[in-house]
Every structure is written in structure tokens, then in C-alpha cells.
Amino acid sequence: MNANEELITNFYKAFQKKDYKTMQNYYSDDATFNDPVFQNLNVNQVKAMWEMFCIKGKKLNIEYKNIKANENEGSCEWIATYQFSKTGKNVINHIYTNFNFDNGKIMNHADSFNFYKWVSQSLGLIGLLLGWTPFIRNKIQQGALKNLNDFMANKL
């Protein structure tokens, strides 16, 4: 296992333990994050996002596999099983991740998953019927960013 494969492994081991401080330490000072819900996060937002997930995550279970990396980039698959806070519905989200590294730290972190499947689980019937629409996607993204900004503001 090379150093970046070890970094990815340790990142997800920390997530399993809800150890957001360790997770935060793996990011470079200029890191960015993207996924279908959280778009174009800067390093402070990324760190706060993981903290928020670890603190507020209910019934959170993390599994990971297929870790691959070289000195510049890496990837893995992971599954997050949890209770969606807004609805109390159980979610099983299969996520594919790509990383870019710089000096032993995560520079870019991009998660991808089936948004429609995720929103259908998270919101139930409304997600199933309307989850494919840009309106619902935008509402989810705006709500997630507001929750993150509120979480960050309450820490100050």
C-alpha cells in the first residue's frame, strides 16, 4: 500500500469513528470538494461539512473498498448508510470518489452518486416523483449549503 492509499484508508477509518478532526487534517490548505449536493466547497466548508456529518449523523455507518492511488490521484468506493435528518428515512448511498493529492494531502475531493436514487430514499414519495427535476436538485443544494453555513456560523 502506497502513502496515498494509506491516506484514503485512514480517512475512511476516521469517518467510521466519526473522528472529523483526523479527517480534516488530511486536506491541504487550498482543498476543494464537490458532489451532487455540495458544490464547489472551499477547505473551510469541506472541514465543516465532515464535522457536521459526524456530529449530526444518525445511525451512520461507513464502508469503503477498491482503494487505488498513485502519487497524484486516487479513487475508492464507499457506502454511507444513515438516517436522513429532515425526514427520518433510511438511506443507503453508494459513492464513487476521486482525489487529487499534493504533498501528501487531499487537494481535490469529488464524490459522485446517483442523485435521483439518493433523493428518492431521502425524501420518499416526493423524491421519487420529482427528484429528477432541476427544481428539486436546486432546492436540495441550496438547503444543504444553508445548513452548512448555519452550522459554521453557530460554531463561531
The type of residue at 24 is: Q
Mean pLDDT over the full length of the chain: 95
Span 40-65, pLDDT tens digits: 999 999 999 999 999 988 889 999 99
**Residue 98, pLDDT score:** 98
Model confidence at 156, pLDDT cuts 50, 70, 90, reads: low
Domains of the chain: 3-155 (3.10.450.50)
Pairing of strands 58-69, 73-83: antiparallel
- Burial annotation 71-88 (CB, 10 A radius, 16+ → b, else e): eeebebebebebebeeee
**Residue 85, pLDDT score:** 83
Three cell numbers written together for 135: 427544481
Span 13-27, pLDDT tens digits: 999 999 999 999 999
On the question of pLDDT at 146 being above 80, the answer is: yes
C-alpha radius of gyration, the chain, whole number: 15
Distance CA(2)–CA(65), nearest Å, equals 15
Stated as kind and residue range, the H or E segment containing 127 is: helix 125-130
**Backbone phi, psi, residue 109, to 5°:** -130, 120
Distance CA(89)–CA(80), nearest Å, equals 13
**Residue 27, pLDDT score:** 98
